[in-house]
Amino acid sequence: MTSQYKKYHSPEITVPEKGLVWNMYGAGDENIGKDGKPEQLPIPKPGANQMLVRIDSVGLCFSDVKLIKMGGSHPKLYNRDLSKEPGRLGHEASLTVVEVGEELQDRYYPGQRLAVQPDIYQDGKSTAYGYTIPGGLIQYHLIGPEMLETDEGECLLPVDDSMGYAEASLLEPWGCVLAAYTQRRRLDPKNGGVMWIVGRRGDNAEYLFSRGLDAPAVIILSDVPEAVSAIVEKAKAKIIVRNGVTPDQFEELAKEFTDGLGFDDIVILAQTSADLVGKIAKYSARRGTINMVGKAPLDGLVDTDVGRLHYDYIAFIGNQGPDIAASYGGERNRCELFPKGTTVFVGAGGPMGQMHVQRALELPDGPTTVIATEVSDQRLASIQERFASLAEKKGRKLFTFNPQTSEKSLHDFVMELTGGKGAEDVVVSVPIAGVMAEGDTLMNENGMLVFFAGVPNGTMAPMNLNNVYMNNAQYTGTSGLTLDDQRQVLSQASKGSLSPGRSVGAIGGMNAAKEGIKAVIDGKYAGKIVIFPQLEDLPLLGLDELEKSLPEVAEKLEPGNMWTVEAEEALFEKYWKE
């Protein structure tokens, strides 16, 4: 560890009277800072239940763009008047404790390194760091109950000195990536919930229901076979029979039994109408299950709410019968990439898309073939530059594809590579319904489609849900993360199975933060932009520019211009001033 970097890690931190801050006073990037520059404001002293922290690094995120565009009307700002109560960007933050109030001294200490888990809720209300709570584009700030006394406890994660500052600030976006492959769906009937079982007249199959019927408090039966009625009659739940319910009555039924929140569990038996399945699924509750059981395929694609798959974690599960309960549980419903399969990443060129590609290549027993698709040849070239050597090292095949410049369609390209079967996994990082629907056509009958990018609830796209119950297809989505996700990133990084620093694409100091924000808006860099607030005069530089501008830093990069802790040490040696 070089002398300057070692001094920077010291718990003996000299705090100046004033520090730089990029406050946000309204919508639009022109309202970030004052006259295009950061302000100098007094650095406060912590109260008894607070601590003063130094911000070491901040990752800039495309989700900040929505906040910049909407200003105080952003959902997480609750119509706040930013001209009177300014906000501050920067939810991907790494920090060091400087001074601790007396009530917190048994939990925190000067010099302690922490990463922020920004997805904060208090009393069920989102108060996210970098949104409701002003974020990390500041050199020093106070932390108190707003981050230490939340619905999930303290929203800070200890980090040791083996991890670089840039890596630590990227625990948040990397946690979001890992969360996409962590089971977020509820896969069993809800205890105390409301279940609706919808049969089809004329279906006399001898169904079983081997487990799960003891969970619901209320079970509503609509046109179910006698075998199902006989089984349900033995359950402890309140049983209600509503036969002959038509689609125009579904909303009223949901209001009557769920106050309009939707049914916790829906079971659809032997249905062949894709239109009807879509209309029934509309009334699933948040984190609800839609269990499709039958042997005959649907008569078409199902108009599916892809926004709810991402944000509400609704789960389409199923099997061919006769046991309705065979659909439930994690054994049938996977969430991880298929070992030694083929994975397609749609929208792979952005910072988060590249993280998905990197994870797949580094994943032990991960896919052997990775297809990265993007509409920018420049970004595809960046993927090859950054990850070709990693793919070779791991014994994987990496393909890139631009559907706008190729004579082939993406579908034909994938089918050629997979011998007509389709991919085992398709991950979509593009928030466009049509692209999401196209992703469905790329996977095989037992494949998994992951919606990493979110579209508003109510956004519909046609999906082939036949394969959910006729085979074993999975439709999943994820939004946000938890501390456990960030801990998993830490664990994998310490084992060497994940390298968070590889996703850094550009660096800059505090004075360059606004330029960095504009670069995010313009999509200038394929990788993540990391700002070091304590390196005030570091210009905004892509890692591919370092060889010319900062050769002593560039020589510490890994092949493909990959960020390292050694490069960070060299950077601090040149730019940090005590």
Q: Take residue 456 and report the two structure tokens written for it.
A: 């508003």
Between 58-62, 216-220, 252-256, the lowest mean confidence (pLDDT) is in: 58-62
What's residue 209's pLDDT?
A: 97
Pairing label, strands 423-428, 443-451: parallel
For residues 188 and 194, is the Cβ–Cβ distance under 8 A? no
293, containing H or E segment? strand 284-293
Asked whether the predicted pLDDT for residue 1 surpasses 70, the reply is no
Q: Each residue of 14-33: pLDDT tens digit? A: 999 999 999 999 999 999 99
The pLDDT value given to residue 240: 97
Query: What tokens appear for 485 in the block?
Result: 């996700």
C-alpha span between 199 and 190 (Å, rounded): 20
Asked if residue 289 has pLDDT above 70, the reply is yes
| Angstrom distance (rounded) from CA 513 to CA 23 | 11
Enumerate domains of the chain plus CATH numbers: 16-180+484-542 (3.90.180.10), 194-327 (3.40.50.720), 342-460 (3.40.50.720)
Report pLDDT digits (tens) over 145-180.
999 999 989 999 999 888 999 999 999 999 999 999
- pLDDT exceeds 70 at position 274: yes
CB neighbourhood size of 5 (10 A):
20
User: How many Cβ atoms are within 10 Å of 194's Cβ, its own excluded?
Assistant: 25
pLDDT value, residue 4: 86
Query: Which of 207, 194, 198 minimizes the C-alpha distance to 276?
Result: 198
Q: Is pLDDT above 90 for 495?
A: no
pLDDT, tens digit, 9 for 90 and up, residues 30-54: 999 999 999 999 999 999 999 999 9
Q: What is the Cα Rg of the chain in Å?
A: 26
Containing 69, the helix (H) or strand (E) segment is: helix 63-70
CA distances (Å), origin 220, targets 211, 233, 234, 239: 17, 11, 14, 6
Structure tokens at 467: 């394969």
Query: Residue 283 and residue 263: Cα distance in Å, rounded?
Result: 6
Contact between 141 and 87 (Cβ < 8 Å): no
Mean pLDDT of 76-93: 95
Please give the Cα distance from 57 to 540 (Å, whole number): 14
Q: Is the dihedral of CA 366, 371, 373, 379 positive or negative?
A: positive
* Number of neighbouring beta carbons within 10 Å of residue 16: 11
Amino acid 38: pLDDT: 97
pLDDT tens for 58-76 read: 999 988 888 999 999 998 9
Contact status, residue 461 vs residue 451, Cβ threshold 8 Å: no
Residue 338 confidence class, pLDDT cut points 50, 70, 90: very high
